[in-house]
């Protein structure tokens, strides 16, 4: 949690997306339905099927400031509310001013333009309130505590970790680096735009297990295999995210705005329990870059990955399925 040398609002700004429209290559505008954004997921999906030729998107927004924003004795004046879209991959930052809905209202609304050429994947959308405090203008007095995700590629508004799974022979792969891992059942690549899991089809039976459905033993073993794969994925993406952190001049790490930030916010509460995520990030960063403490954290990181992969549940299902199969074979 950051410490500010001036008074601020104690509660965060709440905001939601109210509309999404696309401007197409022929100049026409298409108003998307509510399936393009999800308040529960806090995500917007602009990769709408049939609209590959869109040039820019307009996202309608509505924000509500916390109580006290316009108190007569407030320590700030000249309040403005801004929506800010940040893309960590392209280093593009777009902002727009929102307008107060009515005199004395805590509700503000407006729209933000998203230029397709400025983005290659997922960007982070947040709202800030700024004002003049102690004679200094444009000081932040409140912001959202959780950003929305704007995905320019996906057709489904999902904010969680997105994975790409590719199946193929490692020994005959056109990706030469995969041939080095010919004896591995799968490999996780965290250097791509989204984390990618390469499944080695040279391992006999692996595809059948991963694709198995139903309630039989084979299906439960397949679920266990997926859980093990997911554990490896969560571990790899956590280490990848920590390794790519940007650091402020004062030495404090900055939360990434893409999938890496989502991974860290998801796992840090289990890696460093009982601590605010920003403080947890600083603690883990210090241990990773310092002289000691990083090795001791590996158990917590692995535990966090196991929880996200729901490995215990998959193992329990597999054990019960095997026990039932053994009982039936003994009859």
The whole-number pLDDT of residue 176 equals 92
Interhelix angle for 217-243 vs 277-289, to 10°? 80
pLDDT along the chain (331 residues), means of 10: 75 92 91 88 82 90 93 91 87 93 93 92 89 91 86 76 82 93 91 82 87 69 83 91 87 80 85 86 92 90 88 78 75 66
The whole-number pLDDT of residue 219 equals 75
Q: Is 246 exposed, middle or buried (0-12, 13-18, 19+ CB in 10 A)?
A: exposed
The whole-number pLDDT of residue 1 equals 46
Q: Phi-psi region for residue 48, left (φ > 0), alpha (ψ -120 to 50) or beta?
A: beta
- Distance from C-alpha of 259 to C-alpha of 257, rounded to nearest angstrom: 7
Do the beta carbons of residue 60 and residue 20 sit within 8 Å?
yes
- Distance from C-alpha of 12 to C-alpha of 129, rounded to nearest angstrom: 10
The whole-number pLDDT of residue 161 equals 63
Coil, helix or strand for 271? helix
Q: DSSP label at 51?
A: -
Q: DSSP label at 157?
A: -
Residue 248: CB atoms within 10 Å: 8
Do the beta carbons of residue 128 and residue 139 sit within 8 Å?
no
The whole-number pLDDT of residue 53 equals 84
The whole-number pLDDT of residue 16 equals 94
Coil, helix or strand for 26? coil
Do the beta carbons of residue 150 and residue 46 sit within 8 Å?
yes
Between the alpha carbon of residue 249 and those of residues 235, 253, 280, 290, the distances in Å are: 28, 9, 19, 17
The whole-number pLDDT of residue 64 equals 95
Q: Which of 97, 123, 109, 117 is nearest to 45 (CA)?
A: 123
The whole-number pLDDT of residue 162 equals 64
In Å, how far from its chain's centre is CA 318? 30
The whole-number pLDDT of residue 10 equals 83
This prediction has a pTM of: 0.57
């Amino acid at each position: 949690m950051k410490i500010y040398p001036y008074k601020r609002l104690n509660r965060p700004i709440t905001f939601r997306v109210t509309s999404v429209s696309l401007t197409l290559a022929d100049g026409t505008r298409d108003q998307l339905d509510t399936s393009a954004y999800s308040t529960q997921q806090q995500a917007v999906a602009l990769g709408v099927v049939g609209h590959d030729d869109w040039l820019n998107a307009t996202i309608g927004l509505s924000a509500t400031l916390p109580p006290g924003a316009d108190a007569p004795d407030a320590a700030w004046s000249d309040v403005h509310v801004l929506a800010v879209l940040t893309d960590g991959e392209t280093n593009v930052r777009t902002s727009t001013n929102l307008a107060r809905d009515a005199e004395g209202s805590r509700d503000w609304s407006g729209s933000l333009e998203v230029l397709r050429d400025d983005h290659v994947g997922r960007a982070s959308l947040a709202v800030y309130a700024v004002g003049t405090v102690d004679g200094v203008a444009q000081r932040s007095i409140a912001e959202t505590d959780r950003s929305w995700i704007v995905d320019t590629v996906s057709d489904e508004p999902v904010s969680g970790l997105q994975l790409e799974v590719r199946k193929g022979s490692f020994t005959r792969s056109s990706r030469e680096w995969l041939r080095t891992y010919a004896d591995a059942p799968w490999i996780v690549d965290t250097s791509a735009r989204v984390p990618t899991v390469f499944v080695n089809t040279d391992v006999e039976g692996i595809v059948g297990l991963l694709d198995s459905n139903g309630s039989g033993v084979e299906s439960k073993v397949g679920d266990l295999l997926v859980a093990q794969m997911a554990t490896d994925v969560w571990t790899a993406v956590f280490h990848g995210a920590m390794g790519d952190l940007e650091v402020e001049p004062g030495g404090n790490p900055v939360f990434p705005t893409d999938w890496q930030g989502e991974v860290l916010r998801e796992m840090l509460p289990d890696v460093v329990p009982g601590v605010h995520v920003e403080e947890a990030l600083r603690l883990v960063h210090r241990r990773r870059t310092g002289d000691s403490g990083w090795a001791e954290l590996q158990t917590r990181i692995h535990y966090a990955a196991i929880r996200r992969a729901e490995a215990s549940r998959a193992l329990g299902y597999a054990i019960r399925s095997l026990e039932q199969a053994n009982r039936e074979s003994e009859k």
